[in-house]
Structure 1
Amino acid sequence: MSRSVTPPKPSLTSENTALPSQAVGLATKPALPQTSTLSDFIQETLALTRRLFIQLQRRPSTLIAGIIQPLMWLVLFGALFQNVPQGLFGDSQSYGQFLGAGIIVFTAFGGALNAGLPVMFDREFGFLNRLLVAPLASRFSIVVASAIFITTLSLIQTAVIVSAIAFLGAGLPNLLGLGVVTLIVFALVLGVTGLSLGLAFALPGHVELIAVIFVTNLPLLFASTALAPLSFMPHWLQVVATLNPLSYAIEPIRYLYLHNDWALSSIVMQAPWGSVSLGGALLVLFAFDLVALLSIQPLLRRTFA
């Protein structure tokens, strides 16, 4: 009769017990320190901004058109009203000098108003959906990158227009005045860019966004002091112009071009309801930025969620 053989039990030697201890050691090994969220956000923002500049390098027509159009306005309108009697437009020596501040602001405003178009095309082509499902540190890097790109583009266009205005004989503000002009342009671009990006997430497609741009672009320009002083306008249009943020960017820049001895208390505009100082105009622009950025926050949060 055969005898059943029972297999020997494995002995708990040091070789056998080493594997569980190693596994426990791997499980309890502290993880390497992760990169901070702030540095990840900066890296993402820089990468997305670089992508936009690569697109601009491949298709520079946007930058070129944004420079040619205001130059045409400056040359054609300046020639159209060059025989206007001196003193009709305040302290300006010529209509070209009067028009220069309006062209600077119009250039920056037009570029900022188009800020939502790249985001809208990313939406329609599906690239934005890829970004939204990517493990980003913050999805607001998409908006910040677009704002940096548009602000840089607008400042480049503005620098070219300022140089062209100086070449045509309108002169230049002093060095500190140029710094204030840059601050004014930056404040205007920041608020308009925020509104344009908000529209890019709120509207259904690029056709609607382009329609909004066309509808608001020229009316806001004509309902400002870019082409004519307030004294030329009827009372109702004066009220509209003083409610237009563009006027609070145009008049300070125009004053800086005409006066080297300026201060924040200098009166730059006589509105129907009172005098507006240089510092007051800056406060209006900063308030406009605050309202614009706060108004798009809920929309962006809902979209990114």
Structure 2
Amino acid sequence: MSVSLAERPVAWAEGTRLLVRVGTFCLVELQKLRHDRSELLTRMIQPVLWLVVFGQTFTRLRAIPSGDVPYLDFLSAGIIAQSALFVSIFYGIQIIWERDAGVLTKLMVTPTPRAALVTGKAFAAGIRSLAQALAILVVSLLLGVRFTANPLKLLGVVVVVLLGAAFFCCLSVTIAGLVLKRDRLMGIGQAIMMPLFFASNALYPIAVMPHWLQVVSAVNPLSYEVNALRGLLLGTPTVLWLDFTVLVVATIAAITAASALLGRLTR
């Protein structure tokens, strides 16, 4: 049934209000960085070490086939995706902390939709990941990696990082809604973080994986994020519409699941 002309302004107002609330929650999350900017610096150490130590060492060893692309270039896109994963996968701990501090209960009794709260946190995770991605790009350039300078492709990189971080943030919140405890979430987060990373093409091409791992990689959103980043930054062959479709669908599904389970944390 089509929306009548009288209903359209109301629907537009509701949509605008929802976007404003999402933006507000996102800004609230980012304000926390002002009180502890060292968090960004400490989180940058690990991805930079992957590039400087692992990347340069395996470039010299030529142990991992990366086609016509130097291995350090090949790895850099994977490390950008890895940093988004590592930033976002423990966002559920923050939700549980807010529950324990009574903040989440106060937010839940407001008329704000749960999806707005979850989406705001998801894209705050994405902006944090963008800060790390920028640092990784700078370090990569200093190491001699050649990235595209096409502004449209760089804008695509921003969208890919935001979607990837949003998905893993909402996955973490979904798990938090299931396990309800910080210590359980930390254990599960550690248990799934590295398998997600190693079961993707962040470090090596899918072609060199055993068959069963190729199957796992094919359903791992991180693989599509890495494919999109390599295609945009390095021009490697990929199906960008498929990469973006998988990331968008996965993110929407994760936001839906996290929003549905958020209420369990306040019971």
Give me the TM-score of the superposition, normalised by structure 2: 0.83
Unpaired runs of 5+ in structure 2?
Answer: 1-12
1:238 and 1:39 map into 2 onto residues whose CA distance is 42
Does 1:112 pair with 2:100?
no
Q: Is the 8 A contact 2:105 2:266 kept in 1?
A: no
Does 1:285 pair with 2:261?
no
Q: CA RMSD in A?
A: 2.7
Aligned to 1:89: 66
Q: Is the 8 A contact 2:114 2:259 kept in 1?
A: no
Choose the corresponding residue for 2:31, options 25, 49, 54. Answer: 54
1:87 and 1:212 map into 2 onto residues whose CA distance is 30
Aligned to 1:66: 43
Aligned to 1:152: 127
1:185 and 1:304 map into 2 onto residues whose CA distance is 30
When residues 41 and 294 of structure 1 are mapped into structure 2, their CA distance, relative to the original with a 3 A threshold, is closer
Secondary structure in 1 matching 2:83? helix
CA positional deviation for 1:113? 1.2
Task: Note the 1:64-213 alignment, pairs <5 A.
Answer: 64-85=41-62, 88-93=65-70, 95-133=71-109, 135-173=110-148, 174-213=150-189
Whichever structure has more helix as a proportion of its residues is 2
Corresponding letter in the other structure for 1:160 = A
1:136 and 1:149 map into 2 onto residues whose CA distance is 21
Q: Is the 8 A contact 1:119 1:200 kept in 2?
A: yes
Q: Is the 8 A contact 1:40 1:137 kept in 2?
A: no
CA positional deviation for 1:77? 0.6
When residues 38 and 85 of structure 1 are mapped into structure 2, their CA distance, relative to the original with a 3 A threshold, is closer
Q: Which has the larger radius of gyration?
A: 1
1:279 and 1:257 map into 2 onto residues whose CA distance is 16
Does 1:232 pair with 2:194?
no
Aligned to 2:191: 215
Count of residue pairs the alignment pairs up:
254
Q: Which is bigger in relative contact order (C-alpha 8 A, separation at least 6)?
A: 2
Task: Note the 1:260-299 alignment, pairs <5 A.
Answer: 267-268=237-238, 277-299=239-261
Q: Is the 8 A contact 1:117 1:209 kept in 2?
A: yes
CA positional deviation for 1:207? 0.8
Corresponding letter in the other structure for 1:256 = L
Give me the TM-score of the superposition, normalised by structure 1: 0.73
Corresponding letter in the other structure for 2:262 = L
CA positional deviation for 1:217? 0.8
Q: Is the 8 A contact 2:115 2:259 kept in 1?
A: no
Q: Is the 8 A contact 1:191 1:289 kept in 2?
A: yes
